[in-house]
Amino acid sequence: MGLRSKHNEATALVRQMTLQEKASLCSGKSFWYIKGNERLGLQPVMVTDGPHGLRKQTSSGDHVGLHTSVPATCFPTASALASSWNPQLLREIGVALGEQCVAENVAVLLGPGVNIKRHPLCGRNFEYFSEDPLLAGEMAAALIEGVQSQGVGTSIKHFAANNQEFGRMFIDVVVDERTLREIYLPAFEVAVKRAQPWTVMCAYNRINGTYCGEHDWLLNQVLREEWGFEGLVVSDWGATNDRVDGVRSGLDLEMPASGPDNDNKVANAVASGTLDEATLDTTAIRVASLSLLGADNVQNTVALDQVAHHTLARRAAAECAVLLKNADDLLPITKTTSFCVIGAFAKQPRYQGTGSSQVVPTTLDNAYDAIATLTGRTDIAYAPGYHPKSDALDADSIDTAARLAAEHDVALVFAGLPTIYESEGFDREHMRMPEQHNLLIEAVCRANPRTVVILSNGAPVEMPWIDQPAAVLEMYLAGQGGGGAAADLIFGDANPCGRLAETFPLRVQDVGSNPWFPGGDGRQVHYREGLYVGYRYFDTFNVPVLFPFGHGLSYTTYEYDDIDVSPTWSADREPLSVRVSVTNSGERKGSETVQVYVRSPAGAAYRPVHVLAGFTRLPLQPGEIGEAIVTLEPRAFACYDAEAQRWVTLPGEYEVCVGASSRDIRQTAVVQVRSEDAVSRTLRGPSMEGGQLQVDDAVFADMLGHAIPPPESTQPFHRNSTLNEIAAVRIGRIFKDFAMRAYLKQLGGLSDPTLARMFEEMARTMPLRALPLLAGGGGGKKGISNAHIDALLNLVNGRFLKGLWQLLRVQLHR
Ligand code: BGC
């Protein structure tokens, strides 16, 4: 049941509202509540983060995970979940999340995040599913279906092209429409069309000059008209730039509370005729519908089974883990093997990321205890090897660990990225693990090559030591059940069946988008690599990688035979079915993820060599032969012709390739595609020269279909200048210090170094217009108000007298 079910009731209510009431309905009541309308009996309802657990704050609210929240099951984060390639699992987790929301009277869970991993250093990649839009969309749709089956809404985020943390509140993503349509939008499109999330959260950034929250093309034309979205668009927290433009362009709800300023602007715009009242009515009806639907459902009750949810979290973590390497089938080891446990993460697990998604878990497994329980042993030798929260070098700890490894048959080394290495709010600086972790692994491997490395990290890392350990198990950020899951996998109680939902590059310099990430010099980031994201780049140009997209080993083996697909297909026909038989040729039961890639003929459009077109998971007993049936949607063969504004399917010989990764193709078949389509002009794209993508200004302009837009000027300073930028002048520096202190005070002090770093980065690059919202005030009595910002702009732009006079007036009227 979606928002539409409340349309009539909501319309009747909005008809009874005054102009001011309607305007006011469309902004938050507080950090987490939607206002409602007391006079008309419309209740305030709560929305809250998301995505892999519930972060319900009952006292102070914040959008960075600073203040505590009620305990809730912490499931694996999105990069792990996507590695399951198992929509059914995502649905189950969605149901559990929905139940928790019902139990806590939360109307909308703010997730999932489906932004594409354009570059492995995006600080928030742990919260996103994949570098592939089809996989990300399928995972998101399943999670949404699960949550919403419980009568709780979701907020798919961050719409759109929010692929980095650097400058996220002002950066302008310059990207061609074909790339948007084929890479950055389809995950949203799949999820919206399939699962109708109650809400879509618009991103902070701009796309081609326009903030996502005032992007009529994005919100009204594409999302609503083309995809048929029936729900409400909510701003990311503090993303509102021009509220009136936002209403005009389809941004319904501004979050969090912004004080009366923006509501007044909206009401005044209607009164003065610059905003159509019917547009405001439509917006208000959507917000009222959400309140009504939310209020209905939060009256439900559910008997929460926390133990069952934890069991699900543990099973999910095991299903998500990816066995990257397993020389001589070292894994699984028997419970009686002589082994030692090395690495502080075994006792103090790294299991989720920092920022708005941070959950207080109901309980937390650690691998050391789980191994002890599973093996029934009480004497497991252990050495920490490093400090869990810092990357300081410590040779003694390494020596002790190496000695321990030499005394045992197998060494289990838990390593990865400490919290400070990846977080919302800032991007990673490099793709390396801490040197201490690398040195530890190398030393342990020298002492005992029968070493298993178990990794906890939210995104790819370089592995300079990859030839040395016998086995590597990628757990990602596995949630509260991750420790137990690691034990299950190491000792063979579970069989790894995860597959990478992203490529692990050898070096960050090898990544297609690397020359243009994160951009920002001129407040712009150019997506010059176009379609060449992830494996689309690596595979097209045969760039060596550490582990390819889709890779993952198992304790059993699978054989593929007898591909069966129609030899011809017409573009105007039904989806195309691909069948292949898969045999479990090993001795353990397992689940194989059968991946289907479509390889296009060379032609008039630049294209990646192949794209993922479908997949399925096949559970198989030892010796069992199963049939994988994968349905390819017509879109799998199409490309977007931006000039003609339509999807086109070019005729020709396509290859349907079935395999166990993008580089492990086991069966292929040729399909002759019949179509009358042609592209309106040759679609040019980047080329490869000297081992790097070349996209000069002429090619990029050609991709864009127009000249590259100049970046926004930084002077004179304006409402979207950042604290960092205004610090170029003395008075700006003084204000920056003051604002940072005010923000810090609001957050209540920061002792955690990752939070401190996140705060620092966010504050430095926060546009001035967001300060009233996120540093308190919003026209209210305390904090920084919009009037303060106006005064400040006069001051930093050299209009001292005017600025001072304004400041005086603001203070006098408080
Ligand atoms: C994040 C969102 C989150 C919101 C509320 C923002 O900073 O980008 O993902 O839902 O805060 O915490």
Nearest CA residue ID for atom 5, ligand 1? 63
- Ligand 1 centre distance from Cα of residue 64 (Å): 7
354 lines ligand 1 (CB under 6 A): no
User: Sorting pLDDT into bands at 50, 70 and 90, what band is 740?
Assistant: confident
* Pairing of β 625-632 and β 576-584: antiparallel
pLDDT tens column, 424-435:
999 999 999 999
- The DSSP element (H or E) to which 133 belongs, if any, is helix 133-148
Q: In what order do the strands lie in the sheet with 199-202?
A: 33-34, 45-49, 108-110, 153-159, 199-202, 232-235
Instruction: Supply the pLDDT for residue 690.
Output: 86
Confidence of residue 778 (pLDDT cuts 50, 70, 90): very low
* CA angle, residues 794, 796, 797, in degrees to nearest 5: 65
Q: For this structure, is 236 an active site residue? A: yes
Q: How far is CA 359 from CA 27, 101, 113, 481, 536, in A?
A: 26, 13, 16, 13, 34
CB 366 within 8 A of CB 483: yes
Find the range with the poorest average confidence among 87-96, 538-547, 763-772.
Answer: 763-772
The verdict on the CB of residue 165 being under 6 Å from ligand 1 is: no
Q: Report pLDDT for 747.
A: 66
Among 221, 227, 150, which residue's Cα sits nearest to residue 191?
Answer: 227
Ligand 1 atom nearest 158 alpha carbon: 9
* 236 Cβ inside 6 Å of ligand 1: yes
d(CA 49, ligand 1 centre) in Å: 7
Strands 568-570 and 558-564: unpaired
Q: Which atom of ligand 1 is nearest to the CA of 111?
A: 10
pLDDT of 131 strictly over 60:
yes
Task: Give 240-256 pLDDT, tens digit per residue.
Answer: 999 999 999 999 999 99
Q: Which of 205, 237, 254, 774 to mutate to test the pocket of ligand 1 (most atoms within 8 A of CB)?
A: 237
Q: What is the mean pLDDT of residues 181-194?
A: 98
Q: Determine the distance separating the centroid of ligand 1 and the alpha carbon of 251, expressed in angstroms.
A: 16
What per-residue confidence (pLDDT) applies to 746?
67
**When comparing pLDDT for 744 and 233, which is higher?**
233
pLDDT of 569 over the 50 cut: yes
Ligand 1 test: best mutation among 30, 66, 356, 774, most atoms within 8 Å of CB? 356
Q: How far is the CA of 225 from the centre of ligand 1 (A)?
A: 26
Per-residue confidence at 445, pLDDT binned at 50, 70, 90?
very high
Cα-to-centroid distance, 704 and ligand 1 (Å): 30
The Å distance, Cα 63 to ligand 1 centre, comes to 5
Residue to substitute in 236, 240, 423, 755 for testing ligand 1 pocket (most ligand atoms within 8 angstroms of CB): 236
Closest CA to 358 of 422, 294, 434, 314: 422
Closest CA to 288 of 105, 35, 107, 104: 35
3-state SS of the chain: helix, strand, coil percent to 5?
Answer: 35, 20, 45
Question: Atom 9 of ligand 1 has which residue's CA nearest to it?
Answer: 356
DSSP string, 55-96: ---SSS--SSS-S-------PPPHHHHHHT--HHHHHHHHHH
Question: How high does pLDDT run on average in the chain?
Answer: 94
63 lines ligand 1 (CB under 6 A): yes
C-beta 43 within 6 A of ligand 1 = no
Instruction: Give the distance (Å) from ligand 1 centre to CA of residue 48.
Output: 9
Nearest CA to ligand 1 atom 12: 63
Ligand 1 atom with the smallest distance to the CA of 62 is 12
State which ligand 1 atom lies nearest to the alpha carbon of 113: 9
Mutate to test the pocket of ligand 1, among 110, 122, 163, 761 (most ligand atoms within 8 A of CB): 110
Tokens matching residue 46: 């709560």
Which ligand 1 atom minimizes the distance to the CA of 157? 9
Asked if residue 227 has pLDDT above 60, the reply is yes
* Closest of 768, 773, 775, 765 to residue 790, by C-alpha: 768
For 545, the enclosing helix (H) or strand (E) is strand 545-547
Cα–ligand 1 centroid distance for 65 (angstroms): 9
> For the chain, what is the total number of helices (H) and then of strands (E)?
24, 30
Reduce the DSSP state of residue 52 to 3 states and report it: coil
Ligand 1 neighbourhood includes 85 CB (under 6 angstroms):
no
Contact in structure between 50 and 111 (CB atoms under 8 Å): yes
Ligand 1 geometric centre to CA of 80 (Å): 20
168 lines ligand 1 (CB under 6 A): no
Q: What number does the ligand 1 atom closest to the CA of 256 have?
A: 5
Tell me the percentage of the chain whose pLDDT exceeds 70.
98
**How far is the centre of ligand 1, averaged over its atoms, from the C-alpha of 201 (Å)?**
9
State what percent of residues in the chain have pLDDT above 90: 86
Among protein residues, the one whose CA lies closest to atom 11 of ligand 1? 63
Tell me, in angstroms, the distance from the centre of ligand 1 to residue 702's CA. Answer: 35
Q: How far apart are CA 12 and CA 32, in angstroms?
A: 26
Reference 722, options 171, 184, 24; nearest CA is 171
In whole angstroms, what is the distance from residue 513 CA to residue 118 CA? 7
What are 32-54's pLDDT values in tens digits?
999 999 999 999 999 999 899 99
pLDDT digits (tens, 9 = 90+) for 188-205: 999 999 999 999 999 999
With beta carbons less than 8 A apart as the criterion, state whether 427 and 165 touch: yes
45 lines ligand 1 (CB under 6 A): no
Asked whether 55 lines ligand 1 (CB < 6 A), one says no
- What whole-number distance in Å separates Cα of residue 598 and Cα of residue 581? 18
Relative to the CA of 127, which ligand 1 atom is closest? 9
> Among positive and negative, which fits the CA dihedral 658, 662, 664, 665?
positive
* pLDDT computed for residue 812 by the predictor: 82
User: Which ligand 1 atom sits nearest the alpha carbon of residue 65?
Assistant: 12
- Token pair of 252 as six digits: 């319904």
Distance of CA 514 to the CA centre of its chain: 19
Residue 155 Cα: closest atom of ligand 1: 10
Per the DSSP assignment, residues forming a β-bridge with 383 are 342
- Is 742:408 a contact under the CB 8 Å cutoff? no
State the distance from the centre of ligand 1 to the C-alpha of 657, rounded, in angstroms.
Answer: 39
Question: Which residue is closest in CA terms to ligand 1's atom 3?
Answer: 356
Nearest protein Cα to ligand 1, atom 7: 63
Asked whether 49 lines ligand 1 (CB < 6 A), one says yes
Q: Which of 49, 132, 176, 236 is catalytic?
A: 236
Q: Give the helix ranges, DSSP H, for 149-226.
A: 177-179, 186-195, 216
User: What separation in angstroms does the CA of 768 have from each of 369, 519, 746, 775?
Assistant: 49, 21, 17, 10
Residue 67's pLDDT is 73
The closest of 532, 516, 513 to 524, measured between CA atoms, is: 516
Burial class of 303 by CB neighbour count within 10 A (0 to 12, 13 to 18, 19+) = exposed
Are the C-beta atoms of residues 236 and 246 closer than 8 Å to each other?
Answer: no
The residue with tokens 């049941």 is 1
Asked if residue 720 lies in contact with residue 712, where contact means CB atoms within 8 angstroms, the answer is: yes
Q: Is the CB of 237 under 6 A from ligand 1?
A: yes
Q: Is the CB of 52 under 6 A from ligand 1?
A: no
Q: Per-residue pLDDT tens for 284-304?
A: 999 999 999 999 877 777 889
CB distance 700 to ligand 1 below 6 Å: no
Q: Is the pLDDT of residue 258 over 90?
A: no
The count of C-alpha atoms lying within 13 angstroms of the C-alpha of 4, restricted to the half-sphere facing its C-beta, is: 6
Q: What is the pTM of this model?
A: 0.97
State both tokens at 791. Answer: 């005064």
HEC assignment per residue over 405-431: HHCCCEEEEEEECCHHHCECCECCCCC
Alpha-carbon dihedral 58, 60, 66, 70, rounded to 10 degrees: -10
Ligand 1 site-directed mutation target among 33, 47, 48, 49, most atoms within 8 Å of CB:
49
Q: Which residue has the higher pLDDT, 68 or 143?
A: 143
* Rounded Cα–Cα distance for residues 105 and 257 (Å): 20
Q: How far apart are CA 225 and CA 155, in angstroms?
A: 19
Phi, psi of 446 (to 5 degrees): -65, -40
The two structure tokens encoding residue 367? 């691998």
- Ligand 1 pocket, 239 CB below 6 A? no
CB atoms within 10 A of CB 588: 15
Q: DSSP characters for 699-727?
A: HHHHHHTSPPPPPPP-SS--TT-BHHHHT
The neighbouring-strand residues paired with 767 are 722
Query: What's the mean pLDDT in 367-372?
Result: 98
Phi-psi map region of 539: left, alpha, beta (phi>0 left; psi -120 to 50 alpha)? alpha
The pLDDT of residue 65 is above 70: no
Query: How far is residue 2 CA from its own chain's centroid?
Result: 24
Query: Which residues on adjacent β-strands are paired with residue 187?
Result: none
Supply the pLDDT for residue 201: 98
Residue 157 in contact with ligand 1 by CB distance below 6 A: yes
Mean pLDDT for 605-611 is 93
What single-letter amino acid sits at 43?
Q
Distance from residue 350's CA to the centre of ligand 1 (Å):
21
H/E segment holding residue 109: strand 108-110
| Inter-residue contact 139 to 487 (CB < 8 Å) | no
Residue with the nearest Cα to atom 8 of ligand 1? 236
Confidence of residue 466 (pLDDT cuts 50, 70, 90): very high
Cα(260) to centroid(ligand 1), Å: 22
Please give the Cα distance from 809 to 814 (Å, whole number). Answer: 9
Please indicate whether residue 110, judged by its CB atom, sits closer than 6 Å to ligand 1.
yes
Between 1-10, 229-238, 751-760, the lowest mean confidence (pLDDT) is in 751-760
CB 656 within 8 A of CB 611: no
User: What's the gap in Å between 203 CA and the centre of ligand 1?
Assistant: 9
Q: Is 356 in the pocket of ligand 1 (CB under 6 A)?
A: yes
